[in-house]
Copies of this chain bind each other. A is one copy, B any other.
């Protein structure tokens, strides 16, 4: 400020008034000060301004996912909602270690963040980060406390979309291959698929859910199990895109045509998996960027003094149709009609 004042040929008090837009000054003086400030690259001190306002205009993001692939789209949504540069984001990676996490919570509090977003790689409820004097919103991962606000994907609804799409396109024997039963997301996806089948008087093909791991290797093994079981199946709904890709490899290499013999649907809409799959994979998109966006908007409302919210907000998933499943082929179609396939990706919710 002293340099700006010297360059503009005014007192420090006058320079301060001009820069902070306070006091009575002639327009020419104000302009001279602002020009000097610009020439010197003067930056108002956000730390000092935050102290005066009692706010830091900073939000903490605490992740357990080591900046993994679930965190990436969520962060994009958070950042969009916070507005480029209006609010800044302090990122902390707890790496699944409760002690490290509590250390970060203390760091964020000492840095006077206005609020905290907590995220992670698992839908399963987690212990709350503590009873803090600032607003906190959980996203993708849910807080185990009913007093907290969590924003999560509606995995049961997403699984229902997949099964309805398969039934609508004439599939009658739908198998389900998914991740470990101990993971909530695997259980929710299986439950959503099962109840949608039950509403139509059906159940899973091949004797029920094939639980396993979140990997291509498990998908390949499960494809073998399905084929060797001898049970009829004309569709496989998978709990993840990685699993679906493995199933696709085994089916193709065993002489099954996808989607003509077997339709295939994944879950996640993970670009490298759905594009690498042959054929490109129909999948359920949990809309992680939208999750991040909604969580950050709720956090901003709370920071600005709106009454605190609690409970779980479940946002709908979306069906993304690609070549591994057929587009609408009604039951009653005349035999002459050739099936219509989606030639490019389109979304349907």
Contacts and interface: CB of A to CB of B under 8 A. Distances in A.
A85 interface: yes
A75 B67 contact: yes
A43 B216 contact: no
Nearest to A132: B41
Interface in A264-300: 272-273, 275-276, 278
A89 B61 CA distance: 11
A72 B76 contact: no
Contacts of A47: 47, 50-51, 56, 111-112
A310 interface: no
A93 B66 contact: no
Contacts of A75: 67, 91, 93
Interface stretch (A102-110, A141-149, A326-334): A102-110
B79 A72 contact: no
Interface in A47-86: 47-48, 50-51, 56, 58, 61, 66-69, 71-72, 75-76, 79, 84-85
Q: How many copies does the complex hold?
A: 2
A66 B56 contact: no
A44 interface: yes
A51 B48 CA distance: 7
**Could you say which interface size class chain A belongs to?**
35 or more
A349 interface: no
Given A51-B48, A90-B88, A272-B272, A106 B76 contact: no
Nearest to A280: B217
Contacts of A338: none
B88 A276 contact: no
Contacts of A68: 72
A41 B109 CA distance: 10
A242 B272 CA distance: 9
Given A47-B56, A133-B41, A276-B216, A85 B104 contact: yes
27 contacts: A43-B110, A44-B110, A46-B110, A47-B112, A51-B51, A66-B72, A66-B76, A67-B67, A67-B71, A69-B69, A69-B72, A72-B72, A79-B93, A84-B100, A84-B103, A84-B104, A85-B92, A85-B107, A88-B92, A89-B90, A91-B91, A215-B275, A216-B275, A217-B275, A242-B272, A242-B276, A272-B272
Interface of A: 41, 43-48, 50-51, 56, 58, 61, 66-69, 71-72, 75-76, 79, 84-85, 88-93, 100, 103-104, 106-107, 109-112, 133, 215-217, 242, 245, 249, 272-273, 275-276, 278
